[in-house]
């Protein structure tokens, strides 16, 4: 696994993030020695969604008002249905993801997280995957949607659901360690 010492990663999330889809990548990133901030819409804490009910809360480190793409080497968007739906209607969250893409910094998105990629205008022309229920949304946004456990294109790492987390975390850490690639590639 890559050593991410010196790398600063934003996990952008709000209430309703899929519990495992935030906590497992957070642990993997920290185990790789990355400095990770939970960035949200409001200060305080955000609460996860675990299966059929609310899950654990996690402390917010910074709000979208307090961050800039120049502060981070990468951004990750956890899934769940609620979290990305709330993020994609927040102009500052969408702008942050857009600006990270334009700065050619790695981006991770799992499950419904690619909704934010669509809203940020970065899905067009991207080979990616997502939870199957937003496959049509991805295609309508101009993405080349594929059914794979993890896909990397233009430094954007996408996966479908919690079962893909081991492959997703590994590939996200690899991309952050290498920095974003100019050429397109699919893993």
Grade residue 186 by pLDDT with cuts at 50, 70 and 90: very low
Count CB atoms within 10 A of the CB of residue 32. 22
Beta bridge partners of 47: 57
Helix, strand, or coil (residue 63):
strand
Helix, strand, or coil (residue 90):
coil
Say whether pLDDT at 187 is over 50. Answer: no
Grade residue 2 by pLDDT with cuts at 50, 70 and 90: confident
- The structural domains of the chain, ordered by start, are 8-178 (3.40.50.880)
Report, as an integer, the average pLDDT of 109-120: 98
Question: pTM for this one?
Answer: 0.94
| Mean pLDDT, all residues of the chain | 95
**For residues 35 and 10, is the Cβ–Cβ distance under 8 A?**
no
Report, as an integer, the average pLDDT of 64-91: 97
Which of 33, 98, 112, 181 is labelled catalytic? Answer: 112
- Is 33 marked active-site? no
For 126, residues 6+ apart whose C-beta sits below 8 A from its C-beta are: 117, 142, 143, 144, 153, 154, 156
State pLDDT tens for residues 39-66: 999 999 999 999 899 999 999 999 999 9
Per-residue HEC secondary structure of 9-39 comes to: EEEECCCCEEHHHHHHHHHHHHHCCCEEEEE
pLDDT at 179: 72
């Amino acid at each position: 696994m890559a050593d991410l010492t010196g790398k600063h990663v934003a996990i952008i999330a709000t209430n309703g993030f899929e519990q495992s889809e935030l906590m497992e990548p957070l642990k993997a990133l920290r185990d790789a020695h990355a400095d990770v901030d939970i960035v949200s819409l409001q200060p305080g804490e955000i609460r996860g969604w675990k299966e059929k009910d609310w899950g654990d809360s996690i402390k917010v480190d910074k709000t979208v008002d307090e961050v800039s793409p120049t502060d981070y080497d990468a951004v990750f968007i956890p899934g769940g249905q609620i979290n990305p739906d709330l993020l994609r209607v927040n102009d500052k969250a969408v702008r942050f993801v857009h600006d990270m893409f334009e700065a050619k910094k790695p981006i991770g998105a799992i499950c419904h997280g690619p909704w934010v990629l669509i809203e940020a205008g970065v899905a067009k022309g991207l080979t990616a995957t997502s939870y199957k229920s937003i496959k049509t949304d991805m295609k309508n946004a101009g993405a080349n949607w594929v059914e794979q456990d993890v896909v990397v294109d233009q430094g954007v790492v996408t996966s479908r659901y919690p079962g893909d987390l081991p492959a997703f975390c590994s590939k996200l850490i690899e991309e952050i360690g290498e920095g974003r690639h100019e050429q397109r590639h699919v893993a």
